[in-house]
Structure 1
Amino acid sequence: MSNPMPFKSQSESERSGDILVSFSSRWIDRLRGNFPNYIFRRRVPSSFVPKRVFVYVASPISEIIGFFNAKYIQQITLPEALNIASEAQIDADELKKYFRGYNTVGCYAIHDNMIFDEAIKLSELREHFDFFPPQSFVALSYESSGWIDKKLSKPPLQDSLSKQADGTLRGGFDESKI
């Protein structure tokens, strides 16, 4: 594509309400497995609570692997974060090291999450967008949120569908999970 669309919203009026948060590739097993109840970050949105938080796993994975919905986002103290560190699936020493020199901890309380059956690769993002993985997070444009929704709602091949115990179809995208 010669003129890729912006992935990041350029203004508040272009902001879709979704964000993308980058994670180190060492978090991949924790994010794909038993998803944490809390996510701790140095920077979090302060002017709005996002509708969805897309999860980008950095190199060498370089993919959007899913999203989560946040019940709330708040700034908490390091001792408060240490009290819930096990629910965030992070070791206390690792948490202390990550937040050394910081007075507060940005905390996403996770409502629910969805891990995609088929992740969205960095090469595909760059094919359509002016995409550079953020160091922390980026607010998505309407165009990028809409593109992700269309990509995920492609009907899967009938043979690849399997009904889960909760009634959802595995292999496609269930909008009721949003």
Structure 2
Amino acid sequence: MSNLKNEVIRAVRLGDSDTGRIVGQSLKKLRELAGLTQKELAARLDISRSSISNIENIGDVHIHSLQRYVAALGATLRIEATFPATEQLANQFNLAFDPDTPDENQLVFPIFGDDIFRRQRDVVLSIRPQYTSKIMEGKKTVELRRRFPISAPRGTVAYIYSTSPERAMVGRAEIADVVKLPIEQIWKKFGKSASIKRSDFYAYFDGLKEGFVLQFTNPQLFPRSLSLSELRDRFDFEPPQSFLYATPILRKALHDEFPNVSY
């Protein structure tokens, strides 16, 4: 836990009862993981050791004090509201905001901090190898999704993760537009540019009346692929079933390591 600087720490774990004690235990655990004694943390905060003890034993602490405690560990406090990504909630919250989504099944909104309601970040798309190669060659100009934020800003970057057996991040493309249409209209308008067989198309959208079309532009192959093992080791990355939002550290690494690829 020596590299807590600028990291987000989920310090508060709320239960149905005795919330203060749970908060205090979480803070104590974080302090211990950071390798600090109560006396050392008290010195950083310019308060008494007994005050630290009271916070950790009782957990009755104001948000401002909680923020200072976590900041003294070298971390950043973040409080979030997590919702299931149902169509109704997605429309209600309007995904033009950045919900820091771990996967396509959750909407996570920060309710405390400096990053409330940011614009959407770029996304990572899991795509089969036979399709990723066509995207990089410019032959496949659209990607189909059962679910996707239709309000994604134009120019959003889609990082292409090629699934098994390749299992690597291979390139990027810009999302020129996101269209939501009835399934039959998608096939008529985009079936050819999606480079998919009719049987596979209808199997993919089975059970849905409408689907999403991501229109790609400016596909660019990375000079080297990033394997899944490298992605896990460096970025704690796990490939999504459909899509996820790219973390800032992943985006920065791709930008720094591939300077000849325009962003």
TM over 0.5: yes
- Distance in 2, matches of 1:107 and 1:141, equals 23
Aligned to 1:95, the other structure's residue is in SS state: helix
Q: What's the counterpart of residue 174 of structure 1?
A: 261
- Distance in 1, matches of 2:128 and 2:227, equals 15
Q: What's the counterpart of residue 218 of structure 2?
A: 112
Within-5 A mapping of 1:27-38: 27-38=131-142
- Distance in 1, matches of 2:200 and 2:232, equals 33
Identity of aligned residues (%): 21
8 Å CA contact 2:222–2:261 kept in 1: the answer is no
Deviation of 1:89 (Å): 0.9
8 Å CA contact 1:53–1:67 kept in 2: the answer is yes
Q: What's the counterpart of residue 126 of structure 2?
A: 22
- Distance in 2, matches of 1:81 and 1:55, equals 22
Q: What's the counterpart of residue 72 of structure 1?
A: 177
- Distance in 1, matches of 2:151 and 2:250, equals 20
Q: What's the counterpart of residue 136 of structure 1?
A: 242
Q: What's the counterpart of residue 95 of structure 1?
A: 201
Unaligned runs of 5+ in 1: 154-172
Aligned to 1:31, the other structure's residue is in SS state: helix
Q: Deviations over 1:75-102 (max 9, x none)?
A: 1111111112011111222111111111
TM-score by length of 1: 0.75
- Distance in 2, matches of 1:147 and 1:174, equals 12
8 Å CA contact 1:15–1:141 kept in 2: the answer is no
User: Is 1:151 the counterpart of 2:238 in the alignment?
Assistant: no
Q: What's the counterpart of residue 82 of structure 1?
A: 187
- Distance in 2, matches of 1:111 and 1:130, equals 29
Q: Kindly provide the amino acid, as one letter, of the partner of residue 103 in structure 1.
A: K
Higher strand share: 1
TM-score by length of 2: 0.52
Q: Kindly provide the amino acid, as one letter, of the partner of residue 174 in structure 1.
A: V
Deviation of 1:47 (Å): 4.5
- Distance in 2, matches of 1:149 and 1:23, equals 21
Which one has the largest radius of gyration? 2
Q: Deviations over 1:45-85 (max 9, x none)?
A: 24533620001011221111111111111211111111120
User: Is 1:44 the counterpart of 2:175 in the alignment?
Assistant: no
Higher helix share: 2
8 Å CA contact 1:16–1:142 kept in 2: the answer is no
Q: Which has the higher contact order (CA 8 A, sep 6+)?
A: 1
- Distance in 1, matches of 2:193 and 2:146, equals 18
Deviation of 1:28 (Å): 4.1
- Distance in 2, matches of 1:113 and 1:32, equals 5
- Distance in 2, matches of 1:31 and 1:3, equals 38
Unaligned runs of 5+ in 2: 9-98, 102-107, 110-114
Match of 2:231 among 125, 140, 151: 125
RMSD over aligned Cα, in angstroms? 2.8
8 Å CA contact 2:123–2:157 kept in 1: the answer is yes
- The aligned length equals 156
Cα 1:47/1:87, change in 2 over 3 Å:
closer
